Chain A
Amino acid sequence: MTLTTFAPLPVVEEYREIVEDRGYPTVREWKRRTGRAAVGSFPVYSPVEITHAAGMLPVGLFGAGNQIEMAHADSRFQSFICSIVKSTLELAFVDKLAPFDALLFHSICDPARNLASVMARNFPERRAIYVHLPQNMASSGAAEYYAYELRRVAAELGAVSGRVPSDEDVLESIVAFNAMRSRLRDLYALRAERPANLSTAELYTLARMATFTDPLESEPLLADSLRSATTRDARPKDRIRVVVVGSFCEQPPLELIAGIEESGCYILDDDFLLGWRLFRTDVPVDGDPYLALARAYLDGSLHASTKHDLRVPRAAGLVASARANRADAVIFLGAKFCEPGLFDYALYRRALEQEGIPHLFLEFEEKMWMYDRIRTEVETFVESMLFV
């Protein structure tokens, strides 16, 4: 796989293999170094600041990718359930989740919720915490209630680490994550503005690195990569400009992302690893930190297929992103059996057709390792855009 055609970014080089390593080597190293615990967060969004404030390392769990064979989880979850639910359970069965002292699950979809129960029953020694994310964004009681929920989660996490975080702890962690997310926003802005300077495969690697690294350590790495990528002397290629949506939970293999680019696309916006950069701006740090996180989620976050905000349709958000990025087209890259994503596709398609924005539907599974068919589809689509 070729990530870039010019001088590689050192951080990307360092982490290119690690991001797919389900031995979680850097998490194990962090635990050895600090003597502290780690908590796995199932997608999409997780209140990682709370985990961090409780003295633990929040780590994104993105299933097993194409790294393991399914031997146990297939008998627990049916064939029509998405891969990430099954492969995350499989990781537990083969003891790959050993570095994690607790797991966080969230109200994103029905299989993920039932996974929290199945995980709790089969692995009672590892606390499974279920977080309710609000879905009535317009209620005057939503922020206060969600702040209460975050405090409840803080108490549960505190029971794992032995330290229930103080408000000051949470504020400090918000500052740390604000800084990390700010660098990610900068990187996303650079790619949107000068996509030849930073490939999506590189950006993805950097963002993925941030999902298993202490934000105090990842932020300088992101800042360094931003400086290097900004100063690259890159010449734009003859590619179409696209926005990619649909991969907000289960993640496509990095090779597939690179393959889409190499097939003739500049990706200007995407929803990969969405939960880790959900907030549009910094979370305020001048008041009740739980309320600040709650309000950021309710009123200051990006569109997500698992967040049902009736105030602004997500399809309108996608169209706005395509327009703002001067995209030629939208690629829907949806995980097989992902019901929230597949539902959204129907509305996206309707809105894109109304707006006259060309689009391509692609379906992937994290466990796939052959990309020829998808590459051919993308190449054909690109050619139809460039030459027809």
Chain B
Amino acid sequence: MTEHHGAPDHDMTGHHEAPPRESPPAAARRAPVETAKAEPVHYQGRVHELQKELMNAYYAELTDIAKGRSPKKNAHLLIAGNPVELVRAFDMVPVFPEVNVLQIAARKASLPLIQKAEELGYAVDNCAYVKADVGLYLSGYEAPYGTVPKADLLLCNYVGCNVYLNWFEHLAELTGAPAVNIDIPFIRSADGEPSPQDIAYVVKQLEELIGLLERTTGTTLDWKKLQRTVELSAYVGEMWAEIKALTQLRPAPYDAYFDSVTMMAVLYCLRGTEEAARFFETAVADLKERAALGKGPLPEERFRVVIEGPPPWPFLRVFRDMFTRWGAVAVASTYSTVGGIWEFGFRHDPQRPLESIARHMLAQNLCNRTFLQRYDQMARYVDEWKADAIVIHSVKSCRLFSAGQGDMREYFAREREVPTLLIESDLEDPRYFSQAQLRNRIDAFFEALTQRRITAAAAAGGVA
């Protein structure tokens, strides 16, 4: 999937990012490993190319709808645990504001949109995803990758993130589009399972949603089509779980943070479609082949890390290079589970489509589970994916992710004795990315890990 030596030069839709500028002198003094001198390389492979094709087609369809060239209806909805299968079953096209704005950030075009929203009274402390989306709307929904259609329906799947509620409430007031909240009770049980009442409540709302979608599209639900859509989600979930298990190998055949986002674009935007199924068939084959050849994303996998938190989209490549130069590969990431957790066994069930969609929304995604259940999830990653360390990327915009990550660090570093690094920036707002500071902290962390290995090896009578 990747070529050796270096960082990706893409975002979720294959956009190429400029190579990073030279690192600051303070960091350079601690030149880590030979990868520091590596040539910048292109990150291209079959999966990547196919993803780019699919996402281009997806945005072309959105543009056609926006320009009146397609009669299809669209619904804006959010990534975390959503009922996209229902939307697809009605032949509506899902639009994901989070994906739209992260791609704008990756193209370094988010700041003017954020500032446009701030001029309206949005605070610097408000989520920059929301501000960029508001700014995008105010800019006529014209994005570098196409045109976003105004929503026929604002379908707010309230799955953990309270900002979701604000976000779509604002869009409803600004655009005048009809809006509905699907209220997903937060998981309150110690075992992470929803109660029968939780499921019944969500199913009830999904049934009401079906009525709303029927009114929006002027059609009635084709139950068989819904079942097929759910079946496709289950199939894709199965393959995604298989892909995730591959990073338990040494070396991991791909980076479970930086490379996962390529596949997440398809997983989220096209789940429930035949195209997504074909894409993941290719991805599984490709990555298994790499695994069989013992190929990893770097020439040498020196550190296996778990990364928590969303990436800094405006500086994705620069950020990745900070890990690449130390030979650090993510073997698991929490970010890749915001839209669903499939690696621990959950599959949609075409025989009980509404109930399985409800279960997915309630319990099978990162966002609707408690902060402590996230600790458990990360602990499993550390143990079962055999990670050396945890990197927590704390983003100001998303407090669902970030609020309390200092406690997370305490837990892993002190109670589980897992080396843990906490760094801060943002997922959308480039003003919060301090390259020199981040690099210094990452360098210091991996330098300490290196020393620790040397010391441990010496104590064991061996070599590092």
B-binding residues in A (CB < 8 A): 74-78, 80-81, 85, 107-111, 113-118, 120-122, 130, 132, 134-142, 145, 148-149, 152, 306, 308, 310, 313, 315, 336-337, 339-340, 342-347, 349-350, 361
Contacts and interface: CB of A to CB of B under 8 A. Distances in A.
Interface stretch (B1-9, B14-22, B175-183, B318-326): B175-183
A78 B394 CA distance: 9
Residue from the set A74, A76, A306 with the largest chain B CB neighbour count within 10 Å: A76
Nearest to B432: A80
Given A110-B163, A139-B208, A339-B127, A149 B411 contact: no
Interface string B366-379: 00001110010000
A76 B407 contact: yes
18 contacts: A76-B406, A77-B403, A77-B404, A78-B403, A80-B125, A109-B162, A110-B399, A117-B371, A120-B372, A121-B375, A130-B186, A130-B188, A134-B183, A140-B208, A310-B169, A337-B125, A339-B125, A347-B169
Nearest to B405: A78
Contact of A339 (B121, B166, B172): B166
Interface in B354-398: 370-372, 375, 394, 396, 398
Contacts, number: 161
Contacts of B403: 77-78, 81, 85, 110-111, 114-115
Given A81-B399, A115-B404, A141-B201, A350 B121 contact: yes
Given A78-B402, A108-B162, 9 more contacts: A78-B394, A80-B396, A81-B403, A110-B398, A113-B162, A118-B407, A120-B372, A346-B122, A346-B123
A115 B166 CA distance: 20
Contacts of A113: 160, 162, 186, 370-371, 400
Contact of B120 (A76, A339, A346): A346
Contacts of B204: 139-141, 145
Contacts of A81: 399, 403
B424 A346 contact: no
Contact of A346 (B170, B186, B197, B407): B170
B158 interface: yes
Contacts of B165: 135, 308
Nearest to B398: A110
B166 A136 contact: no
A111 B404 contact: yes
Contacts of B424: 78
B205 A347 contact: no
Nearest to A156: B188
Interface residues of B, number: 53
B182 A136 contact: yes
A339 B205 contact: no
Contacts of A118: 371, 404, 407
Contact of B185 (A75, A132, A337): A132
Contacts of A339: 125-127, 162-163, 166, 399
Q: Is the interface of A mostly helix, strand, loop or mixed?
A: helix
B417 interface: no
Contacts of B60: none
Interface string B237-254: 000000000000000000
Interface string B182-214: 110110100000010100110011001000000
A308 B181 contact: yes
A114 B183 contact: no
A120 B180 CA distance: 33
A211 B93 CA distance: 49
B275 interface: no
A136 B162 contact: no
B125 A76 contact: no
A350 B410 CA distance: 43
B141 to A, nearest CB: 19
Contacts of B127: 339
B158 A135 contact: yes
A154 to B, nearest CB: 14
A107 B122 CA distance: 23
Nearest to A153: B188
B173 interface: yes
